Chain A
Amino acid sequence: MNGLGYGVDGLSHWFVGIGMPAWLAVTMAVLLLWIAPMLVVVFPIAALGQIFERKIAAAIQRRVGPNTVGLDGPLRFAFRAILCFLPRARQDRVFAAFCKLPVVRTILKVSQRLGLGQLVADGVKMLGKEDIVPSGADGLVFRMAPYLALVGAFVPFCVVPFTQHMVMLETSVGALFAIAVSGIVVVALKMAGWGSGNKWSLLGGMRAVAQLVSYEVPVGLAVAGVVLWCGSMDLHVIVGQQYQPGVFSMVGWNLLQSPFLLLLAVVFFIAGLAECQRSPFDMAEAESELVSGFNTEYSGLRWGMFAMAEYTEMLLIGALFATLFLGGYQSPLCEEWIVGLPVLLETFVHLALFVGKVAVTFLVMMWIRWTLPRFRVDQVMRLSWLKLVPICLVCLLGLAVTMVSSGGTVLGAPFGRLPASPHADLGLIGRLVAWAIPVAVVLGLVRASRKKHGQLHPALRQLTGGGS
């Protein structure tokens, strides 16, 4: 036991077992389990976010999108750099021969069709831009803000369990830690808005802060509901609680455990969108009214950091959503068999499943962005305080009542690692009842509304597609 967590311990023991020196074994285990998920999952998706965004936007709005720049340019550049000892003509001949290989030709063609080279081009453009600090700016504050935004976006990934073993920080306060650290982004945006010495930036910063502070409340309450249900703040334990043996392991996911949790999941997703300032909640960087708000004055790499922080935060919301509501890294079907696989294979399958779930939420966020128009400032505030927060409070109460009435206790929940699930003794009938009561209440409300107004409430009518 070297105090670095169960996964690292296990893997380094295995490495020592196949004849590796101890220091190398620990280093390898840390690299594989802690650094790899960041390098394989978080960084690439955050960096590729821009190009995904453009392709998806093009697909949704029936535009063309990047479709010209392939990877042959960067590849030619790499060849010239590697073969710098040869004359230019020879370099080009080698490159042409290389490009004629069937595999390379296919890859180049596909990359050009998808416009993948745009990513490299954009990156080079961003790096090449002049790094401007306006003369009216508050220099140090202006320069510090993007770093702080990146810290707030990346550090919460420490506690996210990518697979059963890939988790950097196994702590009893995982969910709380993620919320707390991502709250630092608020300060960063405020610093960017103030430090720019620009009225638009300041207004954008004000909007961002007001919005983020408001939406931390529903996010926190939604997480509190899951914590109440699972009896732990440890994200690892929360994932473990959603394990269900049998073919349909999906049934164990928090999303399907209770209608209140389903509602909390919806609230968490909406509030999460607002937390990472995505459309329809992007009035902080409203480009048409505030000239893109808090990042007006940023150029080049510093602007790139803000963009990266935004995509990383989207990933974080996706990862937390998957962990809290979608069973984390677990498979929707036949989880029992996957757990039985050899450790390395199991880790790989789980990582792929986790990335898949995060990618789906990522996709939905982009879909929403390119479909819905932007909210007004007051509408954003109203949605949080008058709609989401009351819904969360009702759901918390409902969860507590469900747990108490089904024999589980709220205050006396068993502590320790992987405690017995409070809803384990619900059984099929209990679960049916838990779903039936809230559904009956909603149906009753709809009926009452119809009786009172002669038809459905306008909001409900819109929801059900216009029929009265």
Chain B
Amino acid sequence: MIESLLFWLCCAMVLVGALGAALVRNVFHAALLLGLCLLGVAGLYLFLEQPWLACVQVIVYIGGVLVLILFATLFSADAMGTEQRRRVTTLVIGSGAGALALVLAWRMATVGMQNGVGLQPTRSEPGMVPDAMAGSTNTVGDLLVGDWFVPFLAAGLLLTVALVGAVITVQRFRVRAEAERA
């Protein structure tokens, strides 16, 4: 009972957050609603018995990406959204993409229903033992340093390259600024 309520709450968070992020004019509010959506996704991961993934979702997307977006909103010239105007092209492209996503989601849901995987929360069994949650973390860890070791390292390398690139870019700016000051 409580579990299914929480499940639908997470769903509502995702939907309301996503819709709000797309529709609200105030950029800061839109970013906060995006955070609501991301938190809801973390909750859905918990229902899929992936606590590790849920924690990483919160660390990376709320602690990292969302905070960066909130930072960036301060540099927006029109943070309150007072001067925004709806362009017809944006409207057409946006609603087209939305319709496509809706069709895809509907298709996936119907296929899932046909295969017997309904929209039931997976943790509905009452005898959920804490140890049952331990398996998923270990499995993810084993997969990351086992079968998916090379992609995992490649992602790390990519991030390192991005970091070094950022440092070099800043360094170039700093050198130019110092030259100008001199």
Contacts and interface: CB of A to CB of B under 8 A. Distances in A.
Interface of A: 1-3, 5-6, 138, 141, 170-173, 176-177, 179-181, 183-184, 186-187, 190-191, 194, 202, 206, 209, 213, 216, 220, 233-234, 411, 415-417
Contacts of B145: 411
Contacts of B137: 172-173, 233
Given A141-B29, A172-B138, A183 B74 contact: no
Contacts of B29: 138, 141
Contacts of B63: 180, 183-184, 186, 213, 216
A171 B135 CA distance: 11
Contact of B67 (A171, A179, A180, A187): A187
Contacts of A415: 138
B119 interface: no
Contact of A180 (B55, B74, B131): B55
Given A183-B58, A415-B138, A171 B51 contact: yes
A173 B71 contact: no
A164 to B, nearest CB: 14
A172 B62 contact: no
Interface string B16-52: 0000000000001100100100000000000000011
Given A3-B129, A186-B67, A173 B62 contact: no
14 contacts: A3-B128, A3-B129, A5-B130, A6-B130, A180-B56, A184-B62, A186-B63, A187-B35, A187-B62, A191-B32, A194-B74, A206-B71, A216-B63, A415-B138
Given A173-B51, A194-B28, A206-B74, A183 B130 contact: no
A-B CB proximity, top 3 nearest:
A183-B63, A172-B134, A180-B58
A411 to B, nearest CB: 6
A234 B64 CA distance: 23
Contact of A141 (B28, B51, B128): B28
A109 to B, nearest CB: 49
Interface in B116-149: 126-131, 133-134, 137-138, 145
Interface residues of B, number: 29
A178 to B, nearest CB: 9
Contact of B59 (A138, A180, A234): A180
A216 B138 CA distance: 24
A141 B133 CA distance: 35
A206 B70 CA distance: 10
B70 A417 contact: no
A189 to B, nearest CB: 10
Contacts of A176: 52, 55-56, 59
Contacts of A138: 28-29
A171 B70 contact: no
B11 interface: no
A173 B52 contact: yes
A89 to B, nearest CB: 54
A172 B127 contact: no
A186 B63 CA distance: 7
Given A141-B32, A213-B64, A172 B52 contact: yes
B66 interface: yes
Given A5-B130, A172-B137, A190 B56 contact: no
B66 A187 contact: yes
B62 A3 contact: no
Contacts of B70: 187, 190, 194, 209
A281 B57 CA distance: 28
Contacts of A220: 59
B35 to A, nearest CB: 6
Nearest to B39: A184
A173 B62 CA distance: 18
Given A176-B59, A411-B145, A209 B127 contact: no
A233 B59 CA distance: 15
A184 B58 contact: yes
